[in-house]
Amino acid sequence: MEINKAKELGFKSVVVASTGNMAASVAAYSAQAGLECYVFVPENTPRGKLAQSLSYGAKVIQIRGTYNDAANLAVKASEKYRYYLAGDYVFRLEGQKSAGFELAEQMWRENIDWVIVPIGMGTNLSAIFKGLWEYYQLGLIDCLPRMVGVQAEGAHSIFKTDNRKHNTPRGWQAERSEAMTPARWKKQEKFYVKPVAKPNTIASAPNTIASAIAVGDPLDAPKVINALTKTNGAIEAAGDDETLRAQQLLTRNEALYVEPSAATTVVALEHLLKKGKIKDTDTVVCVATGAGLKDPATTLKVLAEPPTIEADLKEIERVIKGQLFAIRAGGVKEREKVLFIKTPSKNALKNLVKKEFSLDLTAHDLREVYEEVKYFIETKGKHIAKADLQSILEDAIQEKHPKILELVDFEITTSQKRRPHAKVEVKLKGKKYQENSEGVGPVDAGISAIRKILTKQNGIDFNIDDFNVEIPTTGADATVEVTMVLKDKKGNQVVEKTTSPDIIVASMNAYVAGYNELAFQKGLK
């Protein structure tokens, strides 16, 4: 609807502010219409959403700030450069109201009691309501469902009034002539807006994993409140952890993989059932607004890493009997929980792993995990959070081969104006070797020294094909997870993942582990 209007009005370029989903749609239709498309998104928008817009040829600009900062900038850019402002929520509303038509038609002759919709800018909920309202005015449906808006807890800005004085939302006035107060509604709820963040106020920005609805001051709040008021609806807030649990509930019970923002509707349903507002006999529609593949990184933060094994049936048996699939990751907040400040006993560690992760460690794996926990605490001075222990567990339960190459120790010096220098000591086939080297960075210097030793001793020659670093926890002392893809001259490839509070240690250990895996595959001893 909006892109057709842009062409009709003679515009050559379109600009839109978005948390990701709207951007993909505008970029797609702009490409089809041959219009230049500029997309403004908040910094750290999920890469999966940006990939869609970029693939359609949109010119994406990340804005340091909130969605509202991006939206305000889009307005200014449209005025200065004469771009068509997409997502201005006028023509878009007319296009999106067809979702309300579809709901009514799919439930033809059956009354819907409740419709639950996630709120970012609020346009989708108000558009669905508009479609249902028009069908009701035309006599095509007998009654209006009660609308429920759900926001992320960290971006909660629309509230039910408690009879105190509050700011009236921008431009909103109650349309008393159209107010609906059916006898079955004992009292009509009222709502108000309290923005989470004002433009250019980063300190109070929305804080939630539900990126698509991370909007602290919805532009369409007046229309949302109009819909909630006319239908005597409700507003709910969903916490991050319960949102991720709802996401898993949908995947495992309904085979629906939705992004976290869409799963908030199930959280709202649970809340309203507990409050007794929604009855078991009511017909409820939860609008799931986005597919999970748009933001898989958030899902993976709370899921355990799958075990990696050789193509051997005995290894399958080890994984199944060892219940390695039983590792249960924690919620977003739970992952930051500190489990150990001092090195625990092996028995205490075993019991805690059972309690926190539902995993019974074998004697061998317990030794591996214990030594790593001890290293984190005593050598690196790192407190063990739940996410740290999960990373250690995931690393420890992987299949281990005899260590042909071992990293004994290393020392690396670096500065801003000099190339890093590394002095490395390894043990190769039981014999110690030392070597010095320089590199572009500290990791490169350390690995270059190891490669020198391997070359001199006729070791396996291989290169780093890919290198990725992830940080599962927050803070300057966060644990890092390094994944390294190594490939030899014949194309043999291995993937190794290691964990450490030190990125250089994790990287060099991954390289050494890769050598040992390639050596095993080649049958070297």
Q: Which of 55, 87, 119 is the last residue of a domain?
A: 87
pLDDT value, residue 175: 38
Answer yes or no: are the C-beta atoms of 62 and 36 closer than 8 Å. no
Nearest to 292 by CA among 210, 236, 206: 210
Could you tell me if 389 and 300 are in contact, meaning their C-beta atoms sit under 8 angstroms apart? no
CA gap 69, 74 in Å, rounded:
9
Please indicate whether residue 274 or residue 191 has the higher confidence score (pLDDT): 274
CA atoms of 359 and 355, how far apart (whole Å): 8
- The reply to whether 83 and 98 lie within a common domain is no
In a domain, 307, yes or no: no
Residue 328: CB atoms within 10 A of its CB come to 13
| CA-to-CA separations, 344 to 145, 361, 393, 478, in angstroms, rounded | 56, 15, 15, 20
Report the Cα 6 to chain-centroid distance in Å: 33
> Residue 104 in contact with residue 141, Cβ under 8 Å?
yes
Q: Does residue 156 surpass a pLDDT of 70?
A: yes
Query: Which of the pair, 223 or 320, is modelled with greater confidence?
Result: 223
Residue 518 lies in a domain: yes
- How confident is the model over 23-61, as pLDDT tens digits? 888 999 999 999 999 999 888 787 777 888 999 999 999
Q: What is the DSSP string of 437-461?
A: EE-SSHHHHHHHHHHHHHHHTT---
Q: What is the pLDDT of residues 239-293, one digit of tens each?
A: 998 999 999 999 999 999 999 999 999 999 999 999 999 999 999 999 998 888 8
Task: Note the pLDDT tens digit of each residue in 355-411.
Answer: 888 788 888 889 989 998 998 999 888 888 888 888 888 777 766 677 889 999 999
DSSP SS3 for 249: helix
Same domain, 110 and 222: yes
- Asked if residue 264 and residue 193 are part of one domain, the reply reads yes
Q: What is the band of 181 on the pLDDT scale with cuts at 50, 70, 90?
A: very low
The pLDDT score that the predictor gives to residue 329 is: 56
At residue 151, the pLDDT reads: 96
Return the C-alpha torsion angle 316, 319, 320, 321, nearest 10: 110
Number of compact structural domains in the chain: 4
Residue with tokens 């002759």: 109
Sequence-distant (≥ 6) Cβ neighbours of residue 340 within 8 angstroms: 373, 377, 383, 384, 389
**Residues 325 and 268 both lie in one domain:** no
Q: Is residue 290 a contact partner of residue 259, using CB atoms and an 8 Å limit?
A: yes
- pLDDT over threshold 60, residue 422: yes
Beta-sheet pairing, 146-152 with 59-63: unpaired
**3-state SS class at 319:** helix
Residue 294 lies in a domain: yes
**The pLDDT value given to residue 294:** 82
Decide if 417 contacts 425 (C-beta within 8 A). no
Q: What angle do CA 417, 420, 426 make, to 5 degrees?
A: 170
Could you tell me the pLDDT band of residue 21, with boundaries at 50, 70 and 90? confident
Tell me the per-residue pLDDT of 83-123, one tens digit each, with 9 for 90 and over: 999 876 678 888 889 999 999 998 876 789 999 999 998 99
Inter-residue contact 225 to 191 (CB < 8 Å):
yes
Q: Are residues 367 and 467 in the same domain?
A: no
Q: Would you say 86 and 3 are in contact if contact means Cβ atoms under 8 Å apart? A: yes
d(CA 389, CA 356): 10
Average pLDDT, the chain: 85
Angle formed by the axes of helices 21-33 and 47-55, nearest 10°: 10
Q: Taking residues 316-321, report their average pLDDT.
A: 73
Q: What is the pLDDT of residue 45?
A: 81
Q: For residues 162-174, give the mean pLDDT.
A: 43
Q: Does some domain include residue 308?
A: no
Give dist(CA 133, CA 322) in Å, integer: 57
Provide φ and ψ at 35, rounded to 5°.
-100, 145
Distances (CA, A) of 435 to 256, 455, 484: 54, 11, 22
Tell me: do 104 and 69 sit in the same domain. Answer: no
Q: Which residues pair with 41 in a beta bridge?
A: 62
On whether the CB atoms of residues 260 and 247 are closer than 8 A, the answer is: yes
More confident residue, 203 or 50: 50
- Residue at 284 is within a domain: yes
Q: Which of 149, 108, 115, 97 is nearest to 283 (CA)?
A: 115
More confident residue, 222 or 318: 222
Judge whether 236 and 157 are in contact, CB under 8 Å. no
- State the pLDDT confidence band at 496, using cuts at 50, 70 and 90: confident
Instruction: Give the containing element (helix H, strand E) for 100.
Output: helix 98-106
| Band of residue 327 on the pLDDT scale cut at 50, 70, 90 | low
Show which of 43, 72, 87 is a domain's final residue.
87
Q: Which of 206-215, 312-321, 423-432 has the lowest mean pLDDT?
A: 312-321
pLDDT at res. 198: 54
Q: Which position has the higher pLDDT, 326 or 215?
A: 215
Residue 341 vs residue 109, higher pLDDT: 341
Structure confidence at residue 265 (pLDDT): 97
Q: Which range is least confidently modeled, 195-204, 305-314, 444-453?
A: 195-204
pLDDT of 523 higher than 60: yes
Q: Which domain CATH number covers 174?
A: 3.40.50.1100
Token pair, residue 121, equals 């800018």
Is residue 461 over pLDDT 90?
no
Whether 305 maps to a domain, the answer reads no
Asked whether residue 260 falls in the same domain as residue 223, the answer is: yes
pLDDT at 82: 94
Pairing, β 234-238 against β 418-428 = unpaired
Residue 4, phi-psi category: left (phi > 0), alpha (psi -120 to 50), beta (remainder): alpha
CATH, residue 508: 3.30.160.270
Residues 461 and 364 in one domain: no
Query: What pLDDT score does 64 carry?
Result: 87
Tokens describing residue 279: 């009855």
Q: How far apart are CA 362 and CA 35, in angstroms?
A: 61
Q: Based on the domain organization, do 285 and 423 belong to the same domain?
A: no
Judge if 99 and 210 occupy the same domain: yes
pLDDT score at 342? 93
Q: How confident is the model at residue 332 (pLDDT cuts 50, 70, 90)?
A: low
478 has a pLDDT exceeding 60: yes
Domain boundary among 366, 396, 426: 396
Residues 292, 387 within the same domain:
no
For 175, 295, 339, the CA distances from 180, given in Å and listed in that order, are: 10, 39, 54
For 288-299, the DSSP string reads --SBGGGSHHHH
Enter the tokens of residue 250: 């949908």
Show the domain range for 372. 313-396
71 shares a domain with 139: no
For residue 331, pLDDT beyond 80: no
